[in-house]
Amino acid sequence: MRVFVETVKDLPADVLRCLLFLTRLPLPSLAYKPFSDLIAALPIASLLLALGMWGLAQGLWWIWGPVPAIAAGLVLAAQTLLTGALHDDALADTADGLGGGQTKDHKLTIMRDSRVGSYGLVATVLSFGLRWAAWSQALPSLGLFVSLWLLSRWACLPSMAWQTAARVGSAAKDATPGGVPSQDGQAAQAGQGSKRLVIATGLVVALIVSLTTSPLVLLALAPAAGLAWLAQRQLGGVTGDIYGAQIMLTEIAVLLVWAAWQAA
C-alpha cells in the first residue's frame, strides 16, 4: 500500500521525466531516476504525446489533405523535431553495429561511434520511406496515434525487465540535463524494470490498442521481440541503442499493420 501511495504521489513528476526522456521538449529538469522507476508513468506520457501529435496532424491534413504526401512528410518532420531523432539515431547505430561488427566488442564499438555507416544509412532511409508511405495512406485517426505511441514506447520494457545490459556504462551523475544517461550507460543505468509492472502496463496498453484500432496491431511488437533475441545472441544483452531501435521498429510495424488492416 505504501509503495502504491508513493507511486501515485510521484506520478506527475515521473510523467515529466518520461517526457524528458522521450522528447526534446524544453521542460524543467528533474533529479535523475532510472527509467525502470518510470514505468507506471510511461503510458500517461505516451498518451499526452499521442494527443499532441494527433492535434497537429489534424491541422496538417486539413490544410494539405488533397496532397497527402506533403501532410505525411510534415508529420514525420514534426515527430523528428519532437524526439530529436533520438530513436532514428539508435536504429542507425544498431543496424551498423549488428550488421557490420565481427565480435561483440567490435559491434559495441561501432554502436558507440557517432558516424553512420552503410547499414545505418539504409536503415534510416527505409525507416523514413516506409513511414512516409504509410502516413500518406493513413487518415489522422486518434486511435492510430494512441496505438502507435503507446505500443512503440512500451516495446522496450520487456528487454529492460528481463535482459541484462551488454556493457556497464557511465554513472547516473553523468546524465544529460534531461535526466538521460550518456549513450554508453543508457541500458546499464535503466535498471531492472519491475516484471509485474511491465506486464500490468502491457495489459493496459494491449487493451487500449485493441479498443482503439484492432488486436491485429499488437503483431507490431514482433520486430522488437526479434531484435531482443538478436541482441542477446550477438551482444549478450541490450544497450540504449537497442531500446531506441525497438521503439522505432515498433512504430514502423504499427503503421504497416494499420495500412494492411485498412486495405483489407
> What does the domain layout of the chain look like in residue ranges?
2-263
Q: What is the pTM of this model?
A: 0.88
pLDDT value at residue 175: 40
* pLDDT for position 181: 43
Rounded-to-integer distance, Cα 216 and Cα 257, Å: 7
**What is the distance, to the nearest Å, from the Cα of residue 202 to the centroid of all Cα atoms in its chain?**
14
As a whole number of angstroms, the distance between CA 170 and CA 176 comes to 11
Higher-confidence position of 206 and 4: 206
pLDDT digits (tens, 9 = 90+) for 98-137: 998 889 999 999 999 888 999 999 999 999 999 999 998 8
Measure the CA–CA gap between 216 and 100, rounded to whole angstroms: 33
Q: Does residue 189 carry a pLDDT above 80?
A: no
Q: What mean pLDDT comes out for the span 196-223? A: 94
pLDDT at 29: 86
Q: Note the Cα 45 to chain centre separation in Å.
A: 12
Alpha helices (H) along 23-156: 42-64, 68-83, 86-100, 104-112, 118-137, 142-154
pLDDT digits (tens, 9 = 90+) for 137-153: 877 789 999 999 999 99
More confident residue, 34 or 9: 34
Q: Which of 88-92, 169-173, 259-263 has the lowest mean pLDDT?
A: 169-173
